[in-house]
Structure 1
Amino acid sequence: MNYRNLFYALALAITANLGVMAQGHKGPAWLSNAVFYQIYPSSYMDTDGNGIGDLPGITSKLDYIKSIGVNTIWLNPVFESGWFDGGYDIIDFYKIDPRFGTNTDMVNLINEAHKRGIKVCLDLVAGHTSDKCQWFKECASGDRNSRYADYFIWSDSISRKDMEQIRQRNSEPNPQASTRGKWVELDAPRGKYYQKNYYVCQPALNYGYANPNPANPWEQSVNAPGPQAVRRELRNIMAFWFDKGVDGFRVDMAASLVKGDPDKKAVMALWQEMRAWINKNYPECVLVSEWSDPKKSIPAGFNIDFEIHLADKIYNTLFFASDDPWGAKGKECYFDKRGLGSLDYFYKKYADIYTSTHDKGYVAFPTANHDFQRLRTGRRYDLQQLKVAMTFFLTMPGVPFIYYGDEIGMKYLPGLQPKEGSRKRSGTRTPMQWSAGETAGFSTCKPENLYFPVDTENGKISVAAEDNDPRSLLNFVRGLIKLRHSSPALNNDGKWQLVSDHSKPYPMVYTRFVDGETYATALNPSGHSVTASLAHLGKAEKMSLTGKVKYKTGNANDKIELGPVSAAVFKIR
């Protein structure tokens, strides 16, 4: 037995646990009031007229961002990239990509955001690099004593099954864009094959194997020098940007770092180690995971995890209709005017997750993100439907995330040509629509030079059209966020309980409560009038309304009536 390694592992585990406890139960205090705004930087605002967004463009719109009521922004990858996968194939983690500006532009954005009370979080691609990254090039050169010699996973032989995966991938029309298999043939001095994480151009960083097989020499222990060097590099990257004022990271594919780790215990230990280090050195900074398994990610040290289309797929049952781009045949969703959805799966899964994590971290239901369809998709199109959905997003517990443009009801645009690995995600990455016109106020370029096309419906779906319209989606969202910020019960830490019958899905009624303060949210996304009988809550004062809703207070029971596509938030007295 290697007692030195055993002692080291135990010391790390103890340090990690102490770090998590020292931080407090959920993270820095600012998280309890946080509302995030996700920006896809290529699509937000272009200041140099090349049709692609940039950091000075984002800086120029900070006053608008603040006006929404959000107080934290998350930027998709901004580091130097090969741009085969929308910035997720990183060449240099310490340098802003020239398409967006410079490191100084990033520091200026951070400083200007902080002046306005806005935090800034970046996207951290922790699991892989671009094959154009200098680390990979040096590793591939074959010097076993170079700095990056074991930053990646190499082998001179692989199984027949893996070889067949390579053969099938190479027979596809565009092998470089295929996600098939895990090995790539290169015939480099370092080895014949390397492991990838997603596309061929994304070699996996070597964080080691949870249970290395001695028969496979490429399977290094998580405590081996190579994987430990990669961990140090990960800390160095975070420290570099934390020291420049960054307030946190959203971590891409956070559960995938350690290989051969089916129960995720090894990768959880890795992130607990990172959490302890952050707590000690940067206690006001946060980690957000793309894991979609809060019962693992939050104990691992993440402050926030997303409930999205991955893993348990709660999100799908709420927002992806069977004929939506991300829908599944025969699977209907709750937020659909036809009223064919169910709350059984949502209630069973979410109630369990909420109970297990609400005093330890936050679960986030984003309005959308760069990886799946926007809220305004398919039949969920008219303003009332969007307002009902936004009432859900902005009154649930956890941390809200608004995807840029969803606050004005931007549409998912189907059928766009893929660009930079977007595939059908192109339709959700279109430029922010600031005003009417061929480029929607996003850029001074010619329309054909836009990053993606726009569709403002003759200016109706734009900030300029909605900013001063009291009935607009933008001002409805502003009102909900203001209400959320005004109440500890509605804020991120307020407690939650479903008070309607989940077996009778329409309407959905839940309470948010803390320290004697209670609010009730009632939602009917269906096109039919519905009624629910509730255990007596009290007298109800209407705080937010879309559509037609009546709350009738009784002695033993209360009754709530909602017209088609309606929602309301009540303060219970």
Structure 2
Amino acid sequence: MSIETSGPVSSTPPWWTDAVVYQIYPRSFADSNGDGVGDLAGIRSRLDHLQQLGVDVLWLSPIYRSPQADNGYDISDYRDIDPLFGTLAEFDALLSEVHERGMKLVMDLVVNHTSDEHAWFEESRSSLDSPKRDWYVWRDGHDGREPNLWRSAFGGAAWDLDETTGQYYLHLFATKQPDLNWENPEVRAAVYEMMNWWLDRGVDGFRMDVINYIAKVQSDLVGDSSQASMGGQIHDFLQEMNREVFAGRDTDLITVGEMPGVTVEDAVLFTGHDRLEIDMVFQFEHVGLDHGPDSKFDNVPLSLVDLKRSLGRWQDGLAESGWNSLYLGNHDQPRSVSRFGDDGLYRVESATMLATVLHLHRGTPYVYQGDEIGMTNAGFTAIEQYQDIESVNYFAEATAAGASPAEVLEDLRYRSRDNARTPVQWDATEQAGFTTGSPWLEVNPNHVTVNAAADRAAGQRSVFEHYRRLIALRHGSAVVALGDFAMLEPEHPTLYAFTRTLGDETLLVVGNFSGEALEVSLLESARAAAGTLVIGNYETGDGGADATLRPWEARVIRLA
């Protein structure tokens, strides 16, 4: 048996080391007024569900005023709520009720870019002499084309020519999402002022969207550079943000940086205890392992060995300084049970096994809405069913280049972001209890059997109840929150096994990533050492002492 170990932890851990975050994608969570779009009042109506689950923090994807070109990640006014979701007064009511229930609320901070309908950009593009011209990234063309060869994350060039002024503006995402120029101190001051405005209103922190993209290598902005790269000034920006926004405030705030492409070494700097940048990094290495060489839609089989190698390296790398964000799914990823598990015969078992393995790592777990009831991919069969701009653009580009529409639809069926954005399935009624109207995105047809009401009535086979027990275990167990991590059997193709150790207490965690029974010698050793079952996802008449893991079974065993 091979073992890889990690080092000690801080003796004065922050509050979020034993917390669990729940992500709400508001337009798909709950609709209160029948217009087919989820809203703030809908969230308020479901707070009992979240409180009973036991989560500590609610993270709201963007609810700011927006033209909705990218479902709210294109913001036209940072200090107002989009009418789709409600009003500022309704937001204040939600915030108050969240706090009354002992939970915190975190806003999604999107400041790499704005909407092209934001007043800042409208003024910026009005003329070359505009006082806000330098608030965005403008460049002249290069050799009769765009300033460089950067591509948008949603397809096409990352530059758009503005006919009025004859210059190109940068948009690393959609054309309607121009990038802010963080080199300009006026931009940074305006962002910090806005962040302070929300904190003064009572929000408990920010999840910062693609925050590492705000720092760009300036020499790459023209010429033949083909890929955006993170500039070293990112650390200066984040430390300045900390001084201008968070310093001197309540220590119960939380800051999470979504950072595509960062390495473990980067994350050690971003989350180091003494660097005062951010609390934890949201990284993407492990959710890129099943991407092919050409794009995320080029699907390849996932290797569990590769997954363990990736997650284990992040556990080890942030063991002494820094902190992990733990997740398998979010609004930008396929449903975790469809991607990493079996969303058919063993949907419940694989959903609860995945949750067990994830939540027993060292870090702060994130639950994406619907995962706590085992929601699956959407199963769409026509491009007209998709709303996601990335998916629609990919279909158009791929089919124009000669790809078969049927093959492209199969790629989308597995990978599209809309898989995670179908409405939450609350019950078996026509629109799953999400809305009384026509939903903005079709409800998954399996809502008749897969829904919160049915799941919570399922007893031992309730995914919700298993999540609730996992969250309670983290709250009540120092070894789960803070213990050292050691990967076991890193080369095993279907067994995920590790230990968590704090002082004289050790937990053994085992998960069977397959639909076949699996003999596990580690369990023989645990039985010989009089280990006791802490939590499992199957009914176990023998107290978990059997050395055979059933399909998609997980156990956590306290070793004597």
Instruction: Give the TM-score normalised by the residue count of structure 1.
Output: 0.80
* 1:342, distance to aligned residue in structure 2 (A): 3.6
Q: Distance in 2 between matches of 1:297 and 1:197?
A: 22
Distance 1:120 1:439 in 2: 28
Q: What is the Cα deviation at residue 441 of structure 1? A: 1.0
Is contact 1:110–1:245 with CA below 8 Å preserved after alignment?
Answer: yes
1:472 maps to amino acid: S
Q: Does the CA-based 8 Å contact 2:215-2:230 persist in structure 1?
A: no
Residue correspondence of structure 1 range 112-131 to structure 2 within 5 A: 112-131=97-116
Q: Aligned partners of 1:67 and 1:133: how far apart in 2? A: 39
Q: Classify the secondary structure of the residue corresponding to 1:66.
A: helix
Aligned residue for 2:465, secondary structure, equals helix
Structure-2 change in CA distance of 1:150 and 1:25 (3 Å): farther
Amino acid in the other structure paired with 1:518: T
SS in 2 for 1:354: helix
Paired position in structure 1 for 2:558:
571
Tell me, which stretches of 5 or more residues in structure 2 are unaligned? 1-8, 219-228, 271-276, 392-415
CA distance in 1, matches of 2:304, 2:25: 32
Deviation by residue 1:221-269 (Cα, 9 ceiling, x = unmatched):
xxxxxx1111111211211111111111111111111221746421122
Of structures 1 and 2, the one scoring higher in RCO (CA 8 A, sep 6+) is 2
Distance of 1:348 and 1:177 partners within structure 2: 27
Return closer, same or farther for 1:422/1:114 CA change in 2, 3 Å cut-off.
farther
2:534 aligned to which of 534, 537, 543: 543
Q: Does 2:141 match 1:198?
A: no
- 1:162 correspondence with 2:162: no
Q: Tell me if the contact between 2:19 and 2:474 (Cα under 8 Å) persists in the aligned partners.
A: no
Deviates more, 1:255-264 or 1:192-201: 255-264
Superposed counterparts of 1:138-153, under 5 Å: 138-142=123-127, 144=129, 146=131, 148-153=132-137
What are the residue-to-residue correspondences of 1:381-420 with 2, within 5 Å?
381=343, 382-415=347-380, 417-419=385-387
- Would the aligned equivalents of 1:530 and 1:562 in 2 still touch at CA under 8 Å? yes
Change (3 A) 1:545 1:349: closer
Aligned to 2:404: none
Question: Which of 220, 233, 238 does residue 266 from structure 1 map onto?
Answer: 233
1:536 shift after superposition: 6.0
Distance 1:542 1:186 in 2: 64
* 1:479 alignment partner in structure 2: 469
Identify if the C-alpha distance between structure 1 residues 360 and 177 changes in structure 2 by more than 3 Å, giving closer, same or farther.
Answer: closer
Q: Within 2, Cα distance between the matches of 1:296 and 1:77?
A: 26
Note the alpha carbon deviations across 1:75-113, whole angstroms, 9 max, x for none. Answer: 111111111111111101111111111112112111110
Moved more, 534-543 or 472-481: 534-543
- CA distance in 1: counterparts of 2:431 and 2:444, whole angstroms: 9
Contact 1:178 1:200 in 2 (8 A): no
2:378 counterpart SS class: coil
- RMSD of aligned C-alpha atoms? 2.9
- 1:241 is matched with which residue: 176, 180, 198? 198
CA contact (8 A) 2:155 2:390 kept: no
Match of 2:450 in 1: 461
How far apart are residue 316 of structure 1 and its match?
4.2
C-alpha separation between the residues in 2 aligned to 1:327 and 1:530? Answer: 32
* Structure 2 Cα separation of the partners of residues 525 and 407 of structure 1: 19
Provide the secondary structure at the position in 2 that maps to 1:93: strand
TM-score (norm 2): 0.81
Report the secondary structure of 1:188's partner residue. Answer: coil
| Aligned twin of 1:332 | 301
2:479 to 476, 480, 489: 489
Q: 1:280-336 deviations in whole A, cap 9, x for unaligned?
A: 13343221111153532452222122243xxxx32344xx599xx96745x422xxx
Alignment of 1:53 onto 2:45? no
Q: For residues 71 and 152 of structure 1, what CA distance do their matches in structure 2 show?
A: 37
- Does the CA-based 8 Å contact 2:80-2:88 persist in structure 1? yes
Q: Which residue of 1 aligns with 2:265?
A: 295
CA 1:439/1:551 → structure 2, altered by over 3 Å: closer, same or farther? closer
Q: Given the alignment, which residue of 361, 385, 409 partners 2:322?
A: 361
Residue identity in the other structure for 1:70: V
Checking the alignment, whether the CA contact within 8 Å between 2:308 and 2:496 is kept in structure 1 is no
The residue that corresponds to 1:86 in the other structure is 71
* Aligned equivalent of 2:426: 434
Shift of 1:276: 3.5
CA distance in 2, matches of 1:26, 1:288: 22
Query: C-alpha deviations, 1:96-154, integer Å up to 9, x for none?
Result: 111111112112111110111111111111111111110001111127363x2321122
Q: Deviations over 1:474-497 (max 9, x none)?
A: 112112222222201112x32211
Aligned counterpart, 1:13: none
Match of 1:31 in 2: 16
Read off the aligned partner of 2:464 and give its amino acid letter. Answer: L
1:9-56 Cα shifts (integer Å, max 9, x gaps)? xxxxxxxxxxxxxxx979983211210111100011111110101011
Q: In the alignment, residue 205 of structure 1 is paired with which amino acid? A: L
1:120–1:247 Cα contact (<8 Å) kept: yes
The answer to whether 1:370 aligns with 2:331 is yes
Q: Are 2:494 and 1:533 equivalent residues in the alignment?
A: no
Q: 2:282 aligns with which of 289, 306, 315?
A: 306
For residues 13-28 of structure 1, what are the structure 2 equivalents within 5 Å? none
Deviation of the 1:164 alpha carbon: 9.4
From 19, 36, 52, give the equivalent of 1:67: 52
Q: Partner amino acid for 2:463?
A: L
The answer to whether the 8 Å contact 1:314/1:346 transfers is: yes
Confirm or deny: 8 A CA contact 1:436 1:456 kept in the other structure: no
Amino acid at match of 1:270: F
Higher alpha-carbon deviation: 70-79 or 351-360: 351-360
Task: State the AA in 2 paired with 1:544.
Answer: I
